[in-house]
Structure 1
Amino acid sequence: MLGLVILLAFEAAGYAVRLLLHVPLPANVIGLILFTLALQFGLVRLAWVEAAAEFLVKHLMLFFAPVIVGTMAFWPYLKTQLLTAALSLTLSAFVVLLVTGKAMQLIGRRSRGEEREHKHEL
């Protein structure tokens, strides 16, 4: 029970941060970032939340039920836009992969360049 309270407290903290600071991120993402930082700095121990997290992950499909029901309810509209949606999803996934790959290549080149400069100094 303590683990669930801790997880919900971080979600609430995310909402509070979003409202107070007007951060342009979803509140649950802010809460997750705060929770990750708390785990990293030892403010929260994994043992405290592990059982609650395992329970939530085990029953994760229940959280997707509203999305599935909504898809079924709006299927007549979605059916008319299926090709557009599929094309958009495929194209956007490809663009994300391309940009990520190029960014990693750039980071890799810079990292290797810095290593070469460091070797020359020795």
Structure 2
Amino acid sequence: MLKWVQGAYQVLLLILFSALGDLIKRILHTPIPGSIFGLLLVFTLLFLKVIRLEWLETGASFLLANLLLLFVPSAVGIIQYQHLMEAEGVRIFLVIAISTVLVMTITGWTTERLSRKREQKQGLRLWS
């Protein structure tokens, strides 16, 4: 029960960061979504060690585990725009496919580089 309550507080904290990101977006009048500003805010605070990963980890893991449920409203919303899907569906699909491949490629490349760096650091520690 305690882990569930902790996760709920962490999700609320993540929602707060998203709301702060929306506020920043409105203040700056930029086309960048507020959620991106919230994400950058969380990243900056984690990087500067103002907040610790443990303060968000359970809530973030919960949200990631249930990510597909969060896309259900978007998928249902597509039904309302059937005419748009008929006219531009191929283009939309291509954009989604290309961006997905790019994200997967860049994520894999970044993970590989970070993994190699970590292995090199650990290898140096073993021999030092």
Task: Classify 1:34/1:71 alpha carbon distance in 2 versus 1 (closer, same or farther; 3 Å).
Answer: same
Determine what percentage of the aligned residue pairs are the same residue. 28
Indicate whether 1:58 and 2:93 are aligned.
Answer: no
Taking the TM superposition and a 5 Å limit, the aligned residue runs for 1:73-84 are: 73-84=80-91
1-side partners of 2:42 and 2:91: how far apart? 37
Distance 2:93 2:57 in 1: 37
> Which is worse superposed, 1-10 or 72-81?
72-81
What is the CA distance between 1:37 and its match in structure 2?
0.3
1:31 and 2:10 correspond: no
Q: Which is higher, the Rg of structure 1 or of structure 2?
A: 1
Which stretches of structure 1, 4 residues or longer, exceed 6 Å deviation after superposition? none
Q: Report if aligned partners of 1:2, 1:48 keep a CA contact under 8 Å in 2.
A: no
**Residues in 2 aligned to 1:8 and 1:84: alpha-carbon distance in whole angstroms:** 33
Give how far 1:23 is off: 3.5
Q: Which consecutive unaligned segments of at least 5 residues does structure 2 have? A: 1-7, 107-128
Change (3 A) 1:22 1:51: same
Residue 39 of structure 1 aligns to which amino acid in structure 2? L
Unaligned runs of 5+ in 1: 101-122
Kindly provide the amino acid, as one letter, of the partner of residue 23 in structure 1: T
Deviation at 1:22, TM superposition (A): 2.4
The verdict on how the C-alpha distance between 1:69 and 1:45 changes in structure 2, with shifts beyond 3 A counting, is same
Alpha-carbon distance change, 77 to 12 in structure 1, aligned in 2, over 3 angstroms: closer
Q: Does 1:20 align with 2:20?
A: no
- 3-state SS in 2 of match to 1:81: helix
Q: Could you state the TM-score of these two structures normalised by the residue count of structure 1? A: 0.63
The count of aligned residue pairs is 95
Per-residue CA distance 1:98-120 (angstroms, 9 max, x = gap): xx9xxxxxxxxxxxxxxxxxxxx
Q: 2:74 matched to 1:67?
A: yes
CA separation of 1:37/1:68 partners in 2, compared to 1, >3 Å: closer, same or farther?
same
